Structure 1
Amino acid sequence: QVKCLENENELLERNEKDLKENIERLLQSREAFMRQYEDSACSLQWTIQMRDKQITVISEKLNSHLALFNSVGKEVAAVKQVLGDVECLVGEKENVVSDLKCKVQRISVLEKDFVEKLSFLGDKITSYQLELRNRARIIYGLKEQLDAEKLKNNFHPQLEELKKSLLVKDEIIERLISDKQEMLVELHNMETALQKFQNIFSRLGHEEMKSSLPVSESQDCKVNSIPGSQVDLPNEESMIPIIGETANANVECKSGIDTGSNQVQSPPSLKHYALPCSEPVTANVEKSECPPESEDVEMGNSSPEQQTHSANPDPEIENQS
C-alpha cells in the first residue's frame, strides 16, 4: 500500500508539473495572443483612420467633380448656342466665298492679260535700251574721233618736229652703235696684240734668266735694287677700267639723246693701255749697274693716264738669289 501511495504521489507530482507547464504555456500564449491582438487592433485603428481620411478626400473630390460636371453642363449649353451662331456665320461666309471665287476667276483672267502686256512692254523697253546703248557708243566714238582730230590739229606741227627729232636720234644711235662695234673690234685687236707682247716678254725673260745664271749674287742684288728694273706686264685685270670708262661714256651719250637736246655727245676715244718698252728690260738685265728709265708705248691713240704698275721678277730668279 505504501508503494502504491508513493507511486500515486509521484504520478500526482508529475501531473502537477505537467499542469504547471501547461498553465505557463497557456499564459505565454495568452500574452502573445494579447500582444498580437493589441497590435492588430492598433493596425486596424490606423487603417480605419487612413480609410476615413481617404473617404473624406474622395468625398471632397466627388463634390468637386459634381461641381465641375454642373459647370461643364452649363458650358455645353453655352457651346451649343455658340455652335448655332457659328453655323449661321459659316453659311453667310460660304456665300461670301462663292462671291470671292467668282471675283478671283475674273482677276485671274485680268492678270493673264496684264502679264502679257507687261512682257510686251518689257520687250519694248529692252529694245529701246539696246538702241540707246548703241547710240551712246556711237556718240562716244564720235566724241573720241572729234577729240583726236582736235589734238591732231593742235599738235600736228609738234608731232612733225618730234618725228624729225626721232629720225635724227635714230641716225645718231645707229652711228653710236657702229662706233661701239668698231671700238669692240679695236679692243679685240688690242687684246691679241697684248697677248703677243706678253708672250714675247715671257720668252725674253726666260732667255735673260738663262743668260744671267753665271752672274754673281751681288750683281743680282744690285739689279733687284734698281728702281726701273721691274717691268709691269699688262693683263686682263688692268683692261677692265678702260672698258668701264668706255661703257660709261656710251651711257652718257644715250642719256643725252633721250633728253631731246639737239647737241649730240660724240663717243669718247678709246683709251689704250700703255705698254712698257722692251728696250729697258734688256738694258736692266745686261747692264745692271746703270738704272734705265721706264718708257710707255701707246697702242693707237695717246692715253691721258699713264700706267705706273710694276711687275715682280720671275720667281725662279728670286729663288736662285
Structure 2
Amino acid sequence: MEAEAAALSQLQLQLLALVSDLRLTRERERAAREELRASSERWKATEEERRREARELRAESAARDDALQRLESRVKCLENENELLERNEKDLKENIERLLQSREAFMRQYEDSACSLQWTIQMRDKQITVISEKLNSHLALFNSVGKEVAAVKQVLGDVECLVGEKENVVSDLKCKVQRISVLEKDFVGTVVSCNMPFLVSDHYLTEMLKELHNMETALQKFQDIFSRLGHEEMKSSLPVCESQDCKRNSIPGSQVDLPNEDRMIPIIDETANANAECKPGIDTGSNQVQSPPSLKHYALPCSEPVAANIEKPECPPESEDIEMGTSPEHQTHSANPDPDIENQS
C-alpha cells in the first residue's frame, strides 16, 4: 500500500509537473501566437507601405517619363525653330546684300541722270540766251523800221489810203511783236522750271520761228509797198518843180529804192558749226528730239537811207547759234531756199 501511495504521489507530482509544463507551453504558444499575429500585422503594414511607395514611385517614374517626352519634343521644336531662324538669317543677309547692291546701282544711275540733266539744262539755257539775243536784234530792227515809217509818214502825207494800209501793217507788226514776247516769256518759264518736256519747248521754238517768218514776209511786203510808193512818187514828181525833190532828200529815210541782192540785211545766219555744237547736246538726252535743219541766209531787202540810219545790232557768235527748225511754208517763202534743207524736212 505504501508503494502504491508513493507511486500515486509520484504520479501526482508528475501530473502536476506535466500540467505546469502544459500551462507553460500553452502560455509560450499564446505568446508565440501573439508575436506571430503582431509580426504578421507589422509585415502587412510594411507590405502596404511598400506597395504604396511602389505606386508612388511608379507614378513618379511615369510623370518623369512624360516630362522627359515633353522635354524631348520641346527640344526638337527648339531645334527646328533654330534651323528656321538660321535659314531666315541667311535669307535676310542675302536680301540685305541685294538691297545694298541695288542701292549702289540706283545711286550711280541717279548721279548719271542728274549730271546729264544738268548738262542739258545748261545747253537749253545757252540756247535761250541765243534766242533772246536774236529776238532783241529783231526788236531793234522793228524799232528801226518804226522810225523809217515815221519818216515816210512826213513825206507821204498826201496818200491817205496807202498810209492807212501802212498803219494797219504797223499795228499787225506790233501785235505780232507782243505775241512773240509773250511766247518768249512762256518758253523761258517752261524751260527754267523743267516741268514741261523738251518736245513742248521745240514746239514753242517752231511756233516762234513761224511767227518770225510771218513777220519777215510782212516786212518784205511792207518794203515792197514802200518801194512801189517811192517809184510812183518819183514818177509823179518828175514834172513837178525840183524844190519838192530837195525837200524830200533833206528828210532822212525818205529815199526808197528797189531791193537788191547786194543790200540785204541778214536776219538769221546759221552755220554748220551750230549743227556740230548742238549734236552732242541733243544725242545725250534719250527723250530729246533733234531740231530740224537751220534756216540759212534768210534776208530782207532794205533801202539805202534806212541802212545808213539804223545801227546794226550785235549778232550772237556763230558758235552759240541754235539749230532752228523751219516749216514747209517757211521754206517755200524763203528768199534763198536750200534743196538739202527741203529734203531733210
What TM-score range do you get, normalising by the shorter chain?
Answer: under 0.3
- Which segment drifts farther, 207-216 or 41-50? 207-216
- Please give the alpha-carbon distance, in whole angstroms, between the structure 2 residues aligned to 1:210 and 1:288: 35
Per-residue deviation, residues 174-214 of structure 1 (Å, max 9, x unmatched): xxxxxxxx999999999999999999999999999999999
Residue 10 of structure 1 deviates from its aligned partner by 0.8
How far the C-alpha of 1:309 sits from its partner, in A, is 118
User: Which structure has the larger Rg over C-alpha atoms?
Assistant: 1
State the TM-score, normalizing by the size of structure 1: 0.26
* Deviations 1:190-241 (CA, angstroms, capped at 9, x unpaired): 9999999999999999999999999999999999999999999999999999
C-alpha distance 6-103 of structure 1, shift in aligned 2 (>3 A): closer
C-alpha contact 1:242 1:272 (8 A) present in aligned 2: yes
Q: Write out per-residue CA displacement over residues 253-310 of structure 1, whole angstroms, 9 at most, x where no aligned residue.
A: 999999999999999999999999999999999999999999999999x999999999
CA contact (8 A) 1:222 1:289 kept: no
Equivalenced residue count is 262
2:230 and 2:256 in contact (8 A); partners too: no
Change (3 A) 1:19 1:82: same
Task: Give the secondary structure class of the aligned counterpart of 2:255.
Answer: coil
C-alpha distance after superposition, 1:97-136 (max 9, x if no partner): 9999999999999999999xxxxxxxxxxxxxxxxxxxxx
* 2:265 and 2:299 in contact (8 A); partners too: no
Displacement of 1:47 in angstroms is 1.4
Tell me the percent identity: 92
| CA shift for structure 1 position 62 | 2.2
Q: Contact conserved, 1:257 with 1:264, CA < 8 A, in 2?
A: yes
Please give the alpha-carbon distance, in whole angstroms, between the structure 1 residues aligned to 2:314 and 2:147. Answer: 157
Is the alpha carbon distance of 1:32 and 1:58 closer, same or farther for their aligned partners in structure 2, counting shifts above 3 Å?
A: same
CA shift for structure 1 position 251: 111
- Describe how 1:282-321 pairs up with structure 2 within 5 A: none
The 1:68/1:168 distance shift into structure 2, 3 A limit, reads closer
Structure 1 residues 18-27 or 250-259, which shifts more? 250-259
Q: 1:311 to 1:251 in 2, by over 3 A?
A: closer
1:233 aligns with 2:265: no
Unaligned runs of 5+ in 2: 1-73, 189-194
Give yes or no for contact 1:223–1:229 (8 Å, CA) kept in 2: yes
Deviation at 1:76, TM superposition (A): 1.0
Q: 1:166 aligns with which of 198, 202, 220?
A: 198
| Bigger relative CO (Cα 8 Å, ≥ 6 apart) | 2
- Whole-angstrom CA distance in 2 between matches of 1:107 and 1:36: 39
Distance 1:19 1:51 in 2: 46
Are the aligned partners of 2:248 and 2:254 in contact in 1 as well (CA < 8 Å)? yes
Shift of 1:8: 1.7
1:41 to 114, 118, 143: 114
- Are residues 1:245 and 2:277 paired? no
Q: Is the partner of 1:274 in helix, strand or coil?
A: strand
Do the aligned partners of 1:232 and 1:311 also contact (CA within 8 Å) in 2? no
For structure 1, list consecutive stretches of 5 or more residues without a partner in the other structure.
116-162, 171-181
